[in-house]
């Protein structure tokens, strides 16, 4: 289908967004130029059925109706408030990843083909779907071993890879067009957003990667007494099928059932918050989809998490930055929080540090003295990132995913205990991490690692000097020499790239005109 097919798919998305009043929302129309108001009319924008709905909620509903790729796009945009705004990003956090199940007979066929043997050789029973989402659905099954084991079998939707490929190709075309003609689109790096989405989807569409994530998280949290990950059955896992132990537990969303089973909802809330922060700060690897449907409480009172398609990672520098930032807010030391941003190079030096600290005080002070139920760490982080953008800090995807997950986890905790004190529950995890990584012992360890690095540098110094000498000699003789074949290849590639860009733009303009003419 090529470019024309991609444009038709984009037009379908545009019309669906317009019908939900989510493309150019009525709330913004009066502030936009006349050309935008005309575009709103031409695309078929209409007043939303729910007069009290927000643009973010309408966008979430529209993306849900458009299918799997758009749902995943919404999840990525939830981590980019710099593109869609904080309020819209907050609405997209709760985007519902639900679709009707596909037939069990089809699921059985997928399992047979993926695992390379008849389903009856692997499972003595295989239920109807118990849960269905945009990428896969889950069945309860029983293995053929003696004794048999109850397992959850996650089966990829048929044709989902082709469906994603078509939509992602259309998204990439839209991003290229936008960056070609819009400076703001280039600043927001829309092509990079689509590339991030494509990488995320590629991982989610291979269920072996989800199995590996579950295995890694289980390994990292094995010694944690209050948190557990179901074991992966690797024998029954392939790219289109993931099998794990079945979780017998009380859904964390059912507060009444937890109380009836003898569990204290406030204690469960503490476990959820501390488990998440421990994963993020201690391990740098956290479950990034901890909504209530993915959390259970087993008979021993342990929180059990399922569904590992979305995971977050924080490198050591980001973990230190996050811990020091949160610790600074806990201590109301805004100058320290400001200094941390400058030390990591997140805020350009041309902004006065005292002015930035003053802006941080405006974020932090309203938190103190308020009731615990009115204080949100996730919203504090969102306000922090909004403030730092005003001081030219570029979006840090690692931190925004952390903030998004923090808001979801807070929602879980508040659902269990409306008066839950997020800061009180978080303080021990943050302080323990700071002692281990910023205290005297940590400084000695860093010094030792620094000496090791200096030793390695000393070993490589002769080669570095020889390289520098060679470059200096080449510069003295008139410049760095490039082989003629290499120079020719670079020139041809650049010419081809420029020509292809020109041709693609003219094709896009012609195609848009043809489609518009056919629709109106």
Q: What is the pLDDT of residue 6?
A: 78
Q: What's the helix, strand, coil split of the chain in %, to 5?
A: 65, 10, 25
β-sheet bridge partners, residue 303: 227, 297
Distance CA(422)–CA(379), nearest Å, equals 12
Comparing CA positions, the residue from 337, 326, 421, 432 lying closest to residue 381 is: 326
Torsion angle (degrees, nearest 10) of CA 219, 222, 224, 228: 90
Active site residue 289: yes
d(CA 346, CA 396): 9
pLDDT of residue 501: 41
Q: In 215-261, where do the E strands start and end? A: 227-228, 241-245, 250-251
- Determine which one of 289, 307, 417, 421 is catalytic: 289
pLDDT in 10s for each residue of the chain, 520 residues = 577 777 888 888 888 888 888 777 777 666 666 766 666 676 766 665 665 678 888 888 888 888 888 887 887 777 666 677 767 777 776 666 677 899 999 999 999 999 999 999 999 999 999 998 888 999 999 999 989 999 999 999 998 888 888 888 888 888 888 888 888 778 777 888 788 778 878 888 899 999 999 999 999 999 999 999 999 999 999 999 999 999 999 999 999 999 999 999 999 999 999 999 999 999 999 998 888 889 999 999 999 999 998 888 999 888 888 888 888 888 889 999 999 999 988 888 899 999 999 999 988 888 776 766 677 777 777 778 778 878 887 767 677 778 778 888 988 998 999 888 888 888 888 888 878 776 555 555 555 555 555 565 555 556 555 555 554 554 455 444 444 444 444 344 444 444 444 444 444 444 444 444 343 3
Q: What is the DSSP string of 369-415?
A: TS-GGG--HHHHHHHHHHHHHHTTPPP-HHHHHHHHHHHHHHHHHHH
DSSP 283: I
Residue-wise burial string across 387-419, b where 16 or more C-beta atoms lie within 10 A, e elsewhere: ebeebebebbebbbbbbbbbbbbbbbbbebbee
Strand, coil or helix: what is 428? helix
The CA-atom distances, in angstroms, between 512 and each of 45, 170, 300, 328 are 18, 13, 60, 52
CB atoms within 10 A of CB 461: 10
Q: Which residues contact 179 (CB under 8 A, 6 or more apart)?
A: 185, 186, 190, 191
The ranges assigned to domains in the chain are: 2-98+162-202
Structural tokens at position 45: 């924008």
Q: Using a cut of 0.75, tell me whether the model's pTM lies above it.
A: no
CA distances from 337 to 322, 330, 386 (A): 10, 10, 15
CA distance 384 to 334: 12
**Residue 156 β-bridge partners:** 136
CA dist 322 and 286 (Å) reads: 14
């Amino acid at each position: 289908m090529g470019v024309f097919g991609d444009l038709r798919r984009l037009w379908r998305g545009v019309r669906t967004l317009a019908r939900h009043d989510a493309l150019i929302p009525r709330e913004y129309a009066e502030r936009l130029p006349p050309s935008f108001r005309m575009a709103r009319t031409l695309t078929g924008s209409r007043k939303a059925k729910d007069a009290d709905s927000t643009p973010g909620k309408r966008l979430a509903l529209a993306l849900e109706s458009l299918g799997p790729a758009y749902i995943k796009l919404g999840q990525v945009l939830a981590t980019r408030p710099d593109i869609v705004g904080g309020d819209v990003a907050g609405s997209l956090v709760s985007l519902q990843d639900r679709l009707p199940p596909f037939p069990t007979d089809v699921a059985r066929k997928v399992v047979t083909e993926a695992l390379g043997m008849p389903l009856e050789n692997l499972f003595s029973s295989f239920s109807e779907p118990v849960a269905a989402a945009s990428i896969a659905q889950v069945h309860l099954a029983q293995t053929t071993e003696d004794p048999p084991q109850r397992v959850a079998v996650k089966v990829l939707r048929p044709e989902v890879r082709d469906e994603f490929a078509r939509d992602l190709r259309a998204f990439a075309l839209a991003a290229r067009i936008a960056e070609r003609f819009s400076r703001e689109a280039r600043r927001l790096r829309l092509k990079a957003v689509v590339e991030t989405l494509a990488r995320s989807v590629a991982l989610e569409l291979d269920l072996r990667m989800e199995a590996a994530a579950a295995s890694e998280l289980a390994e990292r949290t094995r010694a944690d007494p209050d948190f557990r990950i179901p074991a992966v059955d690797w024998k029954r896992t392939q790219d289109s099928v993931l099998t794990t132990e079945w979780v017998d537990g009380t859904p964390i969303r059912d507060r009444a059932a937890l109380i009836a089973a003898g569990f204290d909802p406030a204690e469960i809330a503490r476990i959820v918050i501390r488990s998440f922060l421990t994963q993020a700060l201690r391990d740098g690897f956290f479950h990034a989809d901890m909504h209530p449907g993915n959390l259970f409480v087993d008979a021993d009172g342990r929180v059990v998490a399922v569904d590992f398609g979305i995971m977050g990672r924080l490198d050591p520098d980001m973990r230190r930055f996050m811990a020091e930032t949160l610790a600074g807010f806990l201590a109301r030391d805004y100058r320290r929080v400001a200094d941390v941003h400058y030390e990591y190079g997140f805020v350009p030096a041309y902004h006065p540090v005292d002015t930035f600290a003053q802006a941080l005080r405006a974020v932090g002070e309203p938190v103190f003295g308020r009731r615990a139920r009115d204080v949100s760490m996730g919203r504090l982080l969102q306000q922090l990132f909004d403030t730092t953008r005003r001081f030219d800090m570029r979006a840090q995807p690692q931190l925004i995913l952390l903030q998004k997950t923090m808001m979801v986890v807070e929602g879980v905790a508040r659902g269990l205990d409306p008066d839950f004190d997020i800061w009180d529950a978080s303080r021990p995890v943050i302080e323990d991490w700071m002692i281990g990584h910023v205290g005297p012992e940590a400084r000695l360890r860093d010094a030792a690692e620094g000496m090791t690095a200096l030793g390695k540098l000393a070993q490589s110094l002769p080669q570095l000097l020889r390289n520098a000498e060679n470059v200096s000699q080449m510069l003295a003789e008139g410049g760095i020499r490039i082989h003629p074949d290499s120079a020719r290849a670079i020139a041809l590639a650049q010419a081809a790239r420029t020509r292809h860009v020109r041709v693609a733009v003219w094709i896009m303009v012609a195609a848009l005109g043809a489609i518009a003419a056919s629709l109106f």
